[in-house]
Structure 1
Amino acid sequence: MGDRPPLPLQTYRRLVIKVGSAVISGPGGRQQQLAIASQVAALRGEGREVVLVSSGAMATGLGKLGFKERPKTMPAKQAIAAVGQPTLMYWWEQAFGWYDLKVAQILLTAEDLAHRHRYLNARQTLETLLEWGIVPIINENDTVMVDEIKFGDNDQLSALIATLVGADLLILLSDIEALYEADPRTHPEARPIHYVERVDAGVLRMAGDDPNSVGTGGMKSKLLAAQKAQAAGIPTLLLPGTRPQSIAEALRGEPVGTLFAGARRRYSGKKLWLYQLPKPQGEVVVDAGAARALRQGGASLLPAGILEVRGQFGVGEAVRCLDEKGHLIGVGLVNYSADELKRIQRRQTRDIEAILGYKNTDEAIHRDYFALVSELEAR
């Protein structure tokens, strides 16, 4: 952490920009949307492609209905988001219309990205829109979300979208101007940190968990999003969303906001999708020998090493692999359903056919379809 080193920010061609609720809510919200559209138009004029991830459906719905605070029940939250989403998109369409840019709305749930075919379909749709010169505007589908299919917040969604489209840079526009040494609300003397080499446990401890009054994500959420992007080799810029030219200033290398470096990409293709999968379908608990083989030997998971099977899932679905202490080892695609694995767990591969009456393969999860997560990342 420290001074920002020279990076080729000006050469980054494909950007994902996430706009927080606090940036575009309130009396000046529409002017902020216009200012952001202006910055996106300038980026497009430089030959860059932009995908926008926009929060604000809930805040917009609250304003339209005259509610002072969020309701507590899920149906009421979903109803308010349903009221706010059309207006939010109308305002974005108007803002971008000033710069002769067309927009498209895409609403997603975690379940959409948890299924490989739907993940690829979403990517193809986004690629087509970018090819046509249209600005995709993505939001979580709040009107149908439940805990089982929820990303968490749009910070996390933006990191997944950055990976999905192969972005060169993720930008988080927020009312939080930068990462500080301490919470500036309670420590006015705290200084901003303009560069973070790696988002590790020490950096995560610097963040508070409190979200703002209209959004769901605080600094911790933004650090987790930067960590996800970092694992995919994508740097992240946290910038003040209400500063008119913050994106241009940051891309020129000026010390605005915080830049989180992109690490060397560990995975690509299907393994990268597995690594960042928002909602695996179930879990398998493995013994110490299998955990060691997966972590250190790059081995496949055999039924003999499985101690417990949790949840319901079918062949080819993604599951989390845990050790006996509950620590996450990684995520993989299973060759057998949950019911089948329960019948063959702790059994030798030679016994599979006798137990099931058939054998798909020796491996419960093949190493080519398993993405390892380090213990640091699992915390």
Structure 2
Amino acid sequence: MIIERLSQLADPALCPRIVLKVGSALLVERGGGVRGEWLASLVAEIAEAQARGQQVVVVSSGAIALGAARLGLAKGGRASLADAQAAAAVGQIALAGTWAELLAGHGLTAAQLLLTIDDLEDRRRYLNAASTLARLLESGAVPVVNENDSVATAEIRFGDNDRLAARVAQAARADAVVLLSDVDGLFDRDPKDPGAALVREVAGIDETIRAMASGGSASGMGSGGMVSKLQAAELAGRAGIALAIVNGTHRAPIARALGQGTGTLFLAQRRDGGRKAWLGGRLAPAGVLTVDTGCADALAAGSSLLAAGVVGVDGDFARGDLVTIHSAKGDRLAQGLVEYAAADCRAIAGRKAAEQAEILGYAPRAAVVHRDHMVLL
């Protein structure tokens, strides 16, 4: 059985484990304080979900906004990387304390988990995070996850908690993700347009759907926007996880959205195995391999990537690094673990197997990227 309607997100039989993402603009007031009444209503909904047999993981933004207010930093703590890191270090204590206090009021135990992108990009660390999440959920705790912004930099970060929520859902083996937004969901055009219509269900993300999204965070507090939510939906969908975007500005927002059927539900597209789901969810490729049309067709049919089909190599990567495979038009086709370093890839690009040994000075491997270590995007 798969989740096909928003109301089914409250069904423990169909959705026993759910990830709930809360953004800064919803959780923190303009002055830098927590929206206490609103958050209390949301925590009550989490307690209700737990009581009916669902396990909930929270991905919560807000540390930088809270810390910036306490330190008196300009631009909400985002004037510089140093400001953001300092604000996060202060704000994370306040954020975790707030969640712990409110959840304790319902007899629930909060657990804090701070992650960097490397924690989910590296396979061993990803499995460690998955194991921790599983044990916490089995113990009845509510994990509250955030990016570790006190040490993250522009080069090593998720960039938004929408994508983090999708990656956490993969690691937690969740059935659904709910992204609380400041709008009802995805609209077919700018929601400020009087003629804009809510898209209630998306069976697959293509260029038409992407064209409906606009980047940026309207509040100025967060780092995401509708584009990042679509990226999160793609990450979740490849792992067999449904994702919903609903309006979080109201009290008890989940009950309102599910009761009225107001929101956008992205249906799960497929269920990759654990390792392939991890590969498909990785966000920091070390390079790009461009392939010709014939090779692109072969990849779509399930073949490995052979050197003969490679027409371009970008990046400085080592054997075993993650690379993205693009078509000649620049479309992302797949990503996987490369069998050659960048220099060797350039040397054998476009060459047949019979030529590769002489070029390399050693027997060539079966493929540049083997299908067992590759996932289609």
Q: Distance in 2 between matches of 1:40 and 1:6?
A: 16
Name the SS of the counterpart of 1:148 in structure 2: coil
Letter in 2 for 1:307: V
Structure 1 residue 242: Cα displacement: 3.7
Aligned partner of 1:17 in structure 2 is 20
How big is each residue's C-alpha offset from its partner over 1:293-341, in whole Å with a ceiling of 9 and x where there is no partner? 223x322122233333322333222111123333222101112222333
- Of residues 368, 372, 375 in structure 2, which corresponds to 1:364? 368
- Of residues 59, 63, 69 in structure 1, which corresponds to 2:69? 63
Q: Distance in 1 between matches of 2:326 and 2:198?
A: 37
TM-score, normalising length: structure 1: 0.87
Which is worse superposed, 217-226 or 353-362?
353-362
- Alignment partner of 1:204 is 2:201: no
Aligned partner of 2:241 in structure 1 is 234
- Alignment partner of 1:165 is 2:160: no
Structure 1 residue 143: Cα displacement: 2.0
How big is each residue's C-alpha offset from its partner over 1:206-253, in whole Å with a ceiling of 9 and x where there is no partner? 3332312211122332233233323333222222324333323445xx
- Alignment partner of 1:49 is 2:55: yes
Name the SS of the counterpart of 2:289 in structure 1: strand
Structure 1 residue 193: Cα displacement: 4.3
Letter in 1 for 2:270: R
CA contact (8 A) 1:226 1:260 kept: no
Structure 1 residue 51: Cα displacement: 0.7
**C-alpha RMSD of matched pairs (Å):** 2.5
Q: Distance in 1 between matches of 2:269 and 2:321?
A: 28
* Pair 1:15–1:63, CA change in 2 (3 A): same
Q: Distance in 1 between matches of 2:200 and 2:170?
A: 23
Q: Distance in 1 between matches of 2:224 and 2:94?
A: 22
- Alignment partner of 1:265 is 2:270: yes
Structure 1 residue 125: Cα displacement: 1.4
Alignment of 1:211-230 (within 5 A): 211=217, 212-230=219-237
Aligned partner of 1:147 in structure 2 is 154
Which is worse superposed, 341-350 or 318-327?
341-350
Structure 1 residue 367: Cα displacement: 1.5
CA contact (8 A) 2:247 2:263 kept: no
The number of aligned residues is 366
Structure 1 residue 366: Cα displacement: 1.1
Structure 1 residue 170: Cα displacement: 0.8
Aligned partner of 1:335 in structure 2 is 339
Letter in 1 for 2:36: R
Name the SS of the counterpart of 1:274 in structure 2: helix
Letter in 2 for 1:335: E
* Pair 1:28–1:83, CA change in 2 (3 A): closer
Q: Distance in 2 between matches of 1:102 and 1:220?
A: 33
Letter in 2 for 1:54: S
Which is worse superposed, 351-360 or 61-70?
351-360
Q: Distance in 2 between matches of 1:228 and 1:109?
A: 17
CA contact (8 A) 2:353 2:364 kept: no
Aligned partner of 2:120 in structure 1 is 113
Letter in 2 for 1:274: L
Runs of 4+ in 1 over 6 A off after TM superposition: none
Q: Distance in 2 between matches of 1:181 and 1:304?
A: 42
TM-score, normalising length: structure 2: 0.87
* Pair 1:264–1:226, CA change in 2 (3 A): closer
Letter in 1 for 2:55: E
Structure 1 residue 257: Cα displacement: 3.1
* Pair 1:308–1:6, CA change in 2 (3 A): closer
Which is worse superposed, 106-115 or 35-44?
106-115
Alignment identity in percent? 39
Q: Distance in 1 between matches of 2:196 and 2:352?
A: 59
Q: Distance in 2 between matches of 1:8 and 1:193?
A: 18
